[in-house]
Amino acid sequence: MLDEVRDGLGMSGTTAGLLTSLPVLAFAFFGALAPALASRVGLHRITLVALGCVVVGLGTRVLVSDQASFLVLSMLALAGMAVANVVLPSLVKLHFPDRVGAVTAIYTTALSIGLTAALWLTVPISDAFGDWRNGLGAWAVLALVAAFPWLGLVSRDRHLERPQRTVGYADVLRTRLGLAMALFFGFQSIQAYVIFGWFATLWRDEGISATHAGLLVGLVAATAIPLSLWAPTRLVRVADPRPMLFAILGCYLVGYVGMLVAPRSLAVVWAVVIGAGTTTFPLVLTLIGLRARTPQGTAALSSVSQSVGYLIAALGPFTFGAVHDATNGWTWPLLLLLATVVPLPFLAAYVARPAAVEDQLRPRDGRPAAPAAR
């Protein structure tokens, strides 16, 4: 819908570039603030506030006619999404400490369904109601529906537990596990940002129609729906999750090589294979819940992983596009994308080992670090 938004608001190419950069900026900045906000406001209240920001941002930005207001309201919606994304693993840890995999599977499957629905339905909604504003604004209704269950929880809200030593953003960032999780999250996010940002254009350049190219990207997202329901639950049950992680990451390698060899004739096959690779996202969210012992530690680890990870991921689509422009083709961009997959198995091997981020905290102000897990 970017072309329609640009035409409707008289948006320049530079401003449009800023608009497309807002998500990663919001997830990096507001994601870093989420644990502190949750600690002060309460997990359930901050989730409700976050959803309120999404409703107001998405619902009102389509009513304005100037670029500045559209950008500000878009950032408001994205801020809510960023905070909710970070606190969700903490909520899972708080309410379902013995079912992290199963509950993470449920909500990451919902994310995959939402992504697929947005890819497939935004344009038809716009066409049905005659304007791009209706197509974008309709999603505020879904956010409003999602907010209602939280109304019953805020009255008995609780703040994040405060153990002998608080676990902060900077504390986790100084741990090996926190850094590895951030790098793992970042490099796997590069794949998603490039896939959903560029692959439709790649397929169109290969002679596939705009409609079919959009459907192929939707197929990538749809493939992850059943796998997102299965993979997190499986991850917590196996003694050694590394083979499973390696197999899913291998789907990226197979899919990208396939795109180099036969991007058009086997496009459906590569869309399914690459879609299987995107299941890495629910798996890394599951690992966030497994690599901390407390909701507070989970919030801090989630914040570091996502805020630093999204900053790393921001380089992906920009560099991919720059290489495409420089080479006037897709071979070198795809080879670059292949190179970004190489670190993932090594990072996966490290974060898959049983550990808790609290065990790696350094002593601070003369106080001991968190006690080792028994």
Each residue's pLDDT tens digit, 292-343: 888 888 888 988 998 899 889 888 888 888 888 889 899 999 999 999 999 9
What's the structural domain count of the chain?
1
Any domain includes 248:
yes
Q: What is the pLDDT of residue 370?
A: 46
pTM: 0.81
Any domain includes 229:
yes
The Cα–Cα gap between 72 and 76 comes to 6
Q: What is the pLDDT of residue 373?
A: 41
Report H helices in 152-279: 169-173, 176-205, 210-237, 242-261, 267-277
CATH of the domain at 187: 1.20.1250.20
Any domain includes 371:
no
Any domain includes 374:
no
The Cα–Cα gap between 22 and 20 comes to 6
What number is the average pLDDT over the span 254-273?
94
The Cα–Cα gap between 337 and 199 comes to 12
Instruction: Give the phi and the psi of residue 324 in degrees, each rounded to 5.
Output: -60, -45
Q: What is the pLDDT of residue 371?
A: 46
Any domain includes 369:
no
Is the Cα dihedral 224, 299, 59, 10 positive or negative? Answer: negative
Angle (CA) 157 38 184, round 5°: 130
What number is the average pLDDT over the span 185-194?
92
Q: What is the pLDDT of residue 158?
A: 60
User: Tens digit of pLDDT for each residue in 34-82?
Assistant: 888 888 888 899 999 999 999 999 999 999 999 999 999 999 999 999 9
Residue at 183: amino acid letter: L
User: Tens digit of pLDDT for each residue in 86-115?
Assistant: 888 888 888 898 888 888 889 888 888 888
Print the domain residue range for 88.
2-154+168-357
Q: What is the pLDDT of residue 372?
A: 41
Any domain includes 194:
yes
Name residues whose C-beta falls within 8 Å of residue 164's C-beta, 6 or more positions apart in sequence: 367, 368, 370
Residue of 78 and 373 predicted with greater confidence = 78
Any domain includes 337:
yes
- Mapped onto helix, strand or coil, the DSSP state of residue 266 is coil
When pLDDT is cut at 50, 70 and 90, the band that residue 259 belongs to is very high
User: Tens digit of pLDDT for each residue in 141-189?
Assistant: 999 999 999 998 887 676 555 545 567 788 888 899 999 999 999 999 9
Any domain includes 257:
yes
